[in-house]
């Protein structure tokens, strides 16, 4: 993506809610080269921050309840989480978690867009979000998969002020034209049980090698490494607990 740091309205963080944090640490360390550090405070609930070098790039967290699906979630930076929560409601979204303080590092909320995709909002205090983007092991693109593209476009441009690069097949989201993600319409190829969602893509040095590493570590290759329009190579993977994420070749055009 064309953003290289957290900015208001842009993606700033991504975290995996998983049924087996220990296994997830092992898997993502092997596949993406992460160095995980778990917060030892009991009140942190086992929250684990993954690093590439000294930079925080993502998080792994236990599920809050047994019925919660294993999934990656994407956080977008906001300057005022309470005001943004009200904008979400007015635009037709639903608050799943009202804004709440997270220690002294920020204020956090979780919402559902009108198409049914979950997203998070982060008002930074001492922690702005990821310290590295677009480099191997770091977040580099976010993609909304939805069955309601028109409603989603109106919703997100209203809530976050995003620009949209129009395309019949793959509109792209941006901040003042600096693209950071895209939108895919879920068609009949997606089973009904697959709910709308945000999918994070991590940069990797070699997509094919990463897909092979994921398979070797007990994961599943959902979309084999593929070159898109001769400008980028991507794959979609699933970890052993069911968390789905994408990878793309670092440095490819468009990201």
The reply to whether 145 and 243 lie within a common domain is: yes
Domain assignment present for 6: no
Number of domains in the chain: 2
Residues 4-23 have a mean pLDDT of 97
Structure tokens at 116: 């049914």
The reply to whether 98 and 172 lie within a common domain is: no
The reply to whether 66 and 150 lie within a common domain is: no
The reply to whether 18 and 84 lie within a common domain is: yes
Domain assignment present for 133: no
Residues 174-194 have a mean pLDDT of 94
- pLDDT tens figures, 90-113: 999 999 999 999 999 999 999 999
Lowest mean pLDDT among 25-29, 30-34, 76-80, 189-193: 189-193
At 252, is the pLDDT very low, low, confident or very high (cuts 50, 70, 90)? low
Give the domain extent around 30: 11-124
The reply to whether 120 and 15 lie within a common domain is: yes
How far apart (Å, rounded) are the C-alpha atoms in residues 121 and 107?
8
The reply to whether 153 and 116 lie within a common domain is: no
The reply to whether 85 and 164 lie within a common domain is: no
CATH number, domain at 48?
Answer: 3.10.180.10
Domain assignment present for 129: no
The reply to whether 115 and 86 lie within a common domain is: yes
The reply to whether 28 and 109 lie within a common domain is: yes
The reply to whether 106 and 150 lie within a common domain is: no
Asked whether the predicted pLDDT for residue 253 surpasses 60, the reply is no
Share of the chain above pLDDT 90, in %: 89
How far apart (Å, rounded) are the C-alpha atoms in residues 131 and 129?
6
Domain assignment present for 198: yes
Domain assignment present for 255: no
Domain assignment present for 1: no
- pLDDT tens figures, 215-228: 999 999 999 999 98
Q: Which of 124, 154, 169 is the last residue of a domain?
A: 124
How far apart (Å, rounded) are the C-alpha atoms in residues 214 and 216?
5
Transcribe 4-26 into DSSP letters: -S--TTSEEEEEEEES-HHHHHH
What distances in angstroms separate CA 98 from CA 103, 108, 145, one per listed residue? 16, 8, 24
- pLDDT tens figures, 135-173: 999 999 999 999 999 999 999 999 999 999 999 889 999
Domain assignment present for 84: yes
pTM: predicted TM-score of the whole model, two decimal places: 0.95
Domain assignment present for 166: yes
The reply to whether 111 and 198 lie within a common domain is: no
How far apart (Å, rounded) are the C-alpha atoms in residues 50 and 160?
27
């Amino acid at each position: 993506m064309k953003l290289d740091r957290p900015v208001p309205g842009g993606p700033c963080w991504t975290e995996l809610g998983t049924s087996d944090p220990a296994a997830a640490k092992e898997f993502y360390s092997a596949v993406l080269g992460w160095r995980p550090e778990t917060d030892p405070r009991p009140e942190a609930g086992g929250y684990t921050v993954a690093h590439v070098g000294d930079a925080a790039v993502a998080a792994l967290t236990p599920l809050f309840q047994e019925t919660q699906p294993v999934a990656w979630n994407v956080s977008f930076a906001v300057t005022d989480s309470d005001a943004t929560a009200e904008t979400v409601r007015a635009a037709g979204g639903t608050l799943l978690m009202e804004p709440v303080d997270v220690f002294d590092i920020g204020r956090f909320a979780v919402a559902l867009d009108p198409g049914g995709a979950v997203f998070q909002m982060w008002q930074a205090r001492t922690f702005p979000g990821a310290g590295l983007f677009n480099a191997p092991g770091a977040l580099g693109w976010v993609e909304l998969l939805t069955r309601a593209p028109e409603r989603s476009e109106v919703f997100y441009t209203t809530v976050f002020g995003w620009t949209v690069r129009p395309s019949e097949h793959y509109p792209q989201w941006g901040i003042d034209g600096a693209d950071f993600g895209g939108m895919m319409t879920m068609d009949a190829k997606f089973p009904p049980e697959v709910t709308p969602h945000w999918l994070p893509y991590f940069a990797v040095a070699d997509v094919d090698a990463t897909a092979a590493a994921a398979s070797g570590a007990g994961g599943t290759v959902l979309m084999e490494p593929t070159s898109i329009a001769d400008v980028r190579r991507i794959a979609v993977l699933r970890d052993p607990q069911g968390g789905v994420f994408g990878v793309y070749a670092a440095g490819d055009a468009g990201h």
